[in-house]
Amino acid sequence: MPNFSGYPKIRSVEPRPGKALRVTFDNGVRKEYDCTPLIQHESFRPLQDDAVFRCAHADPYGYGVVWNEEIDLAESEIWLHGRNIEQTAESDADKPRV
């Protein structure tokens, strides 16, 4: 499927303690995203329940993180506001050499 958003697509999602997500993008970049600020918003309050939070998974096309039919988060939000946690050799190989 073509990438229409301009952001890398999400390949995998790992729910972490403390309401964090560890997300791997299709370009090899890994980010950690803190969901605690989201939970203050009405539509994300169900994520306070650990059982619901642990249901996080990647959208089948990589366009976000999905918890259920009503709760999701766009890949752009995680890409722009997540914290880089490591780079893989694959993503380092794509960087221009100076």
Tens-digit pLDDT profile for residues 55-76:
999 999 999 999 999 999 999 9
What is the pLDDT, as a whole number, of residue 38? Answer: 95
Pick the CATH number of 10-89 from 3.40.50.620, 1.10.1060.10, 3.40.228.10, 3.30.2020.10: 3.30.2020.10
Cα→Cα distances 9→5, 63, 98, Å? 9, 6, 27
CA distance 89 to 71: 33
Model confidence at 93, pLDDT cuts 50, 70, 90, reads very low
Tens-digit pLDDT profile for residues 32-59:
999 999 999 999 999 999 999 999 999 9
